[in-house]
Amino acid sequence: MAKGKLALGLDIGSSSVKMVLLKESKRGYELQHFGIAPLPPEAIVDGALMNSTAIVQAIQELVAAQKIKHKEVALGVAGHSVIIKKIQLPKMTQDELDEAIQWEAEQYIPFDINDVNVDAQILTMPGTEVDGTMDVLLVAVKKDMVNDYTSVAAEAGLAPAVVDVDAFAVQNAYETAYGIPMDETVVLINAGAAVVNINILSNGVTSFTRDITLGGNLFTEEIQKQLNVSHDEAEALKIGGSAGGEADAVVPQEVERVIQTVAEQMAGEIQRSLDFYAATAVDGRIGRVYLSGGTARIPALQRTIAQRCGVPVEILNPFRNIEIDHRRFDPNYLMDVAPMAAVAVGLGLRKPNDK
């Protein structure tokens, strides 16, 4: 691998595929390529790839449109097939942990250990262990899911080099854009079409994660059902555009009412997770929430989370510290889609030979 060469970040989401290629520069990172391709409804259901052909096609179209020659790709996974747990183990080195983790993981994972890929990272800083134990972040992903995602990338002509977890990819993007928050507890909420990833950082380290199987699709479905419009019209109404066709007769207040009801439901689920964290953490006070994902573009959600949780909610901009050539990229477009790009940018910060 060329020194400093980064992987192509490929976020295969349930409503679209996002692709980011970054380049390391003297001042940090520079945006080389960025693209989004929509996926047909139901192409991915509960994290399972139901329409691989459409996904492969979307990836190939993005690679062709962006004229990308780069092959090594970093992919992200999320949902039921991903288990993330913070556990305590006796003090050991990372090498010792890598050897022991298969045995240790077995008691924490609800799947057969032979069916998952397991990884672990020591969270406790050396020298700060208490009672000879240390905090470890354990991550297990079903092999079937990893195989499905790497297969579509390979079929599209790419070489899968890294498989990350969406919640950690967002954390990567956040830390590059805003720095590591050492003095406050920060919540990163990535609200996609089908899944909401929650990652709580305390003293710059992950201390709680949860995936909620609710997302932007719920807004679309409720608008469709309650206002009797098509899927495409409901999608347009959801993000405040003109829907055309039958839906132009829909009164904006009706749309607002449906959106507000779903936003309350999602914010309630998020609040329950934050309340659980607050009840179990030594210092459970949350300083700030950063919201990303395509569903972050629905203003009612940001507003409702802020009201329910009583903390400032900011839309995460993963391009904040990345150099962008405005002759090549429309800054208004990038600002509009920035929340959707968080996972892809985080993946694009990985190197193909990363552990």
Summarize the confidence of residues 321-338 as an average pLDDT. 95
In a domain, 101, yes or no: yes
Q: What CA–CA distance (Å, rounded) separates 180 from 191?
A: 21
- Do the domain assignments include residue 36? no
Give pLDDT, residue 1. 34
Alpha-carbon span 118 to 281, nearest angstrom? 25
The answer to the question of residue 176 being in a domain is no
What confidence category does residue 2 fall into, taking pLDDT thresholds of 50, 70 and 90?
very low
Query: Band of the pLDDT at 282, cuts 50, 70, 90?
Result: confident
Residue 261: what pLDDT?
Answer: 96
- Looking at residue 313, its pLDDT comes to 97
The CATH number of the domain holding residue 118 is 3.30.1490.300
Global pTM reads 0.93
| Predicted local confidence at residue 45, as pLDDT | 87
Question: Which pLDDT score, from 0 to 100, does residue 315 have?
Answer: 97
Give a yes or no: residue 91 inside a domain.
Answer: yes
pLDDT at 290: 98
Q: Is residue 178 part of a domain?
A: no
- pLDDT at residue 246 above 70? no
Host domain of residue 98: 83-138
Q: What is the pLDDT of residue 183?
A: 85
Number of domains in the chain: 1
Q: Dump pLDDT digits (tens) for 207-216.
A: 999 999 889 9
The answer as to whether 131 is a domain residue is yes
pLDDT tens digit sequence for 34-91? 999 999 988 998 888 999 999 999 999 999 999 999 999 999 999 889 999 999 999 9
Mean pLDDT of the chain: 91
pLDDT above 80 (res 249): no
**Percentage of the chain with pLDDT > 70?**
95
Q: Say what the pLDDT of residue 126 is.
A: 72
Is 331 domain-assigned?
no
